[in-house]
């Protein structure tokens, strides 16, 4: 069976998108592993299925490159909005997308029938505890207190971590040393598979920059280092506010390897604004 796809990225976080509005896609877990392979497949950080929804304009399902399903994906949801608008499936600049973490609302900035950027209401950030199961090893017992700037031993070194859920789990680490100098290939998996996080974790390593901006690298659960993580940028901005490194109610610029995102955190919701790019379209034998 030959199936059309669209390759898109948000800040370099690239996925292979399948329009499943009229036809489901079988076995997406295995497909994500096969097609994400950058030499023997199409290449990407995973795949995204754009599906029908009874509660929103469409439903987004995303799979990391290891086949695990993510509960929310910030960079992908902007690309889903772009696809739906430009394909005519949802010819409106305001739309809603159903995800495993609830419905997210999008506002698209368009010109000449094309989407240039998308603002997403990412919902409320939840403080660690309720959404990131922590074991009872003294790191926070049920009901867990929030994990804000707590010491955590990882790979023989102590880090101060802040855990935030954006519908998916994040562990944010602020460092003075340049995050570009970190050996993420060694450090990333030590966080991802740390016993404290039985569901695994996405980990963001951030440098505060002059002007209230932040430089961020990310090791994603299920995909390894990616050039950007939308939910991770949101989690980092929230963690910055929680630890006094940024102010609630102000735009926070997050500089990622693949681009930049603007995050605006309030008590009620976190807003993320950024681009979405179509790279190429193709067909693949499934």
Ligand X SMILES: N[C@H](CCC[C@H](N)C(=O)O)C(=O)O
Which positions are annotated as active-site residues?
A: 73, 229
Q: Which residue is nearest to ligand X (CB)?
A: 70
Task: Give the three-class secondary structure for 191.
Answer: helix
CB nearer ligand X, residue 138 or residue 270: 270
Q: What is the nearest approach in angstroms of ligand X to the Cβ of residue 171?
A: 11
Q: For residue 270, give the H/E element and its range.
A: strand 270-274
Question: Rounded to 5 degrees, what angle do the CA atoms 246, 212, 217 make?
Answer: 90
**Contacts of residue 157, Cβ cutoff 8 Å, sequence gap at least 6:** none
Q: In whole angstroms, what is the distance from residue 196 CA to residue 134 CA?
A: 5
Of 114, 59, 106, which Cα lies nearest the Cα of 78? Answer: 106
3 annotated as belonging to a binding site for a ligand: no
Known binding residue 230? Answer is: yes
Which residues would be at the binding site for ligand X (CB under 6 A)? 13, 64, 70, 73-75, 168, 202, 220-223, 226, 229-232
218 neighbors 202 (Cβ within 8 angstroms): yes
91 or 198, CB closer to ligand X? 198
Please identify, using beta-carbon distances, which residue of 59 and 157 lies nearer to ligand X.
Answer: 59
Quote the least distance from Cβ 94 to ligand X, whole Å. 21
Q: Is 224 annotated as a binding residue?
A: no
Encoding tokens for residue 179?
Answer: 């995050």
Does the annotation flag 231 for ligand binding? yes
- Reading the block at residue 55, the tokens are 């509660």
List residues forming the annotated binding site.
13, 64, 74-75, 168, 202, 220-221, 230-231
List residues forming the annotated binding site for substrate.
13, 64, 74-75, 168, 202, 220-221, 230-231
């Amino acid at each position: 069976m030959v199936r059309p796809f669209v390759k898109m990225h948000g800040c370099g976080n690239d996925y292979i998108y399948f329009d499943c509005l009229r036809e489901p896609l079988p076995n997406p877990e295995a497909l994500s592993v096969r097609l994400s392979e950058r030499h023997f497949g199409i290449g990407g950080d995973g795949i995204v299925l754009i599906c029908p929804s009874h509660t929103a304009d469409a439903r987004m399902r995303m799979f990391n490159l290891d086949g695990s399903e993510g509960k929310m994906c910030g960079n992908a949801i902007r690309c889903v909005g772009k696809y739906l608008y430009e394909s005519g499936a949802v010819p409106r600049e305001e739309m809603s997308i159903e995800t495993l973490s609830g419905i997210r609302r999008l506002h698209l900035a368009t010109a000449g029938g094309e989407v240039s950027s998308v603002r997403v209401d990412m919902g409320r950030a939840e403080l660690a505890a309720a959404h990131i199961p922590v074991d009872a090893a003294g790191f926070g017992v049920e009901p867990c207190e929030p994990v804000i700037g707590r010491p955590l031993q990882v790979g023989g070194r102590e880090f101060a971590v802040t855990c935030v859920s954006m519908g998916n789990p994040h562990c944010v680490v602020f460092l003075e040393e340049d995050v570009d100098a970190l050996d993420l290939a060694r450090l990333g998996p030590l966080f991802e598979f740390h016993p404290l996080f039985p569901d695994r974790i996405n980990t963001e390593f951030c440098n505060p920059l002059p002007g209230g901006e932040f430089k961020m690298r990310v090791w994603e659960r299920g995909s390894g280092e990616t050039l950007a993580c939308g939910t991770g940028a949101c989690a980092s901005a929230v963690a910055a506010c929680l630890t006094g490194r940024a102010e609630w109610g102000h735009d926070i610029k997050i500089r990622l390897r693949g681009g930049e995102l603007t995050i605006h955190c309030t008590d009620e919701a976190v807003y993320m604004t950024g681009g979405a790019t179509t790279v190429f379209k193709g067909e693949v034998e499934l």
